[in-house]
Amino acid sequence: MIVISKQDMQLTLINYKGDTLFCAPIAAGKAYGNKQKQGDMRTSEGVFKVVDIQNASKWTHDFHDGKGEIEGAYRKHFIRLKVPGHKGIGIHGTHAPESIGSRATEGCIQLNNDDLERLVTLIYPLLTVVITPSATDERVNLKNQK
């Protein structure tokens, strides 16, 4: 399974024995808290499944960072997650490697491109993905429940 910690800004692939097979730093959603709606800049929290590993090398996207439409914005692969109530949530590479380790995405999980290339050789569809909140995410989640 993949465990993504928003507290540690880390993605870890572990086997059924709990052994770490792969570990890499990430970037997560700009806003704290669990994803509520499209465009809220939050990363979903919970237990999900990898539904597909797609070729994203020709995809474009404007991240509204002043750089305009970026060709190959997600780099070679987009690991699509099944997140009930949301679409377009996944794990992908980055056009801005300096963002890794920070809250910089629209909600997806970003990896360094070399880390993404390694990860896709180790995973498969229907693999479980667990995304855990940081302490700040938890405070925001509690506030949103009131």
Task: Say whether pLDDT at 66 is over 90.
Answer: no
Q: How confident is the model at residue 16 (pLDDT cuts 50, 70, 90)?
A: very high
Residue 17: beta bridge partners?
none
Which band of pLDDT confidence, cut at 50, 70 and 90, is reported for residue 3? very high
Nearest to 11 by CA among 62, 79, 76: 79
| pTM score | 0.92
pLDDT digits (tens, 9 = 90+) for 22-43: 999 999 999 999 999 998 999 9
Sign of CA pseudo-dihedral 8, 116, 131, 42: positive
Q: Would the pLDDT of 146 be above 80?
A: no
pLDDT in tens, 70-128: 888 888 999 999 999 888 899 999 988 999 999 999 999 999 999 999 999 999 999 99
Backbone Cα Rg of the chain: 14
Nearest to 133, CA basis, from 125, 121, 144, 123: 144
